[in-house]
Structure 1
Amino acid sequence: MPSPDSLRSAIRDVVDFPKPGIIFKDITPILSDAGLFRDSITLLCDTAGGQKIDKVVGIDARGFIFAAAVADRLGAGFVPVRKKGKLPWETRQMSYSLEYGESVVEIHRDAVAPGETVLLIDDLLATGGTAAAALALLDQLGANVVGVAFLLELGFLNGREKLGGHKIESILVFD
């Protein structure tokens, strides 16, 4: 069984990125190591709890990396939730608050059929705004969201509080 500790030890802290006072958790060492990347995908797949998953939804942009690999491993389809204006067809959109303003994410209006089982994946749970917006879009489409999974969670930011009653699992939590 893969060890979350090996993933934790590979994460690099980058001080004052993207702005002063922030300590950025850099996951690129995990991505560039075949064994660690494989382990991260295995651990994220395990969050499905053995359930049949129809679609794995990934959030723009690093969430795509993990969600697409998990979808492949689970034999499920992959669906992107993107920043506004990046999807080529008819979309549903949801706005959410950022520290300084607002942003919008979109999903194709036919990306998930009503009742399909969905696992939502992103690389990081921070304040929860983006994941909450993605969940609202999935609710609009009638998805059966059976889990929300993150590689990293910044627990001190209390992002879970915005995600309602969904089953949430994070491989690594930083408090």
Structure 2
Amino acid sequence: MGIKLLIILLFSSFFIYGQNEQFLEGEIIKRNGDTLEVKIKMLNRFKSFNRIIYLNDKGIEKRMPVDSIRAYRRGNEIYENLILNSEVFVLAKKVIQGPEMSLYIWDERETLEKRIFNEAIGKKMPKVFQHKYLKDKNNNVLNVTNPFKRKVKRFLTNYPEVVAKIENKELTKVEEIVVECNNGSY
């Protein structure tokens, strides 16, 4: 009887310890500007864009919809709600932060219906889509998932040297464009 009790206690302590390991120190900034210092649960890269699960100061697990927040930080990761237009918000992960330009990503899984359709017509599509967004120092946001040269050049009108490098094909990746915008003196 004593060994069974010991095994049950060890198993439950490992389970509880494993549950606490999934939470990281962080903060949630609500839409009204209030900041909550909490422990935020580690979720996979898809769920992190859809929900926040956190422990309040009493250790009670709570949930918060992402449309009610401005941003959140979990460990070293920063997620921010980007305003694409007056009615469309996207919670995206900040990948590169700079004084002039920042780069954000949003990962999306291919839906089952889309995968069935693509396989039916013979397309080999990726199962994960990564959307990229540029945000300048004036909080203007541009979706550069499928970069159209003209659209990116219009967005970068304050960075003529960067536009020239894009036209000369010296800069071909979005990450390079962000680094170049942040390194220049504009």
Asked if these proteins are the same fold (TM beyond 0.5), I'd say no
TM-score for both structures, normalised by structure 2? 0.29
Structure number with higher relative contact order (C-alpha < 8 Å, ≥ 6 residues apart): 1
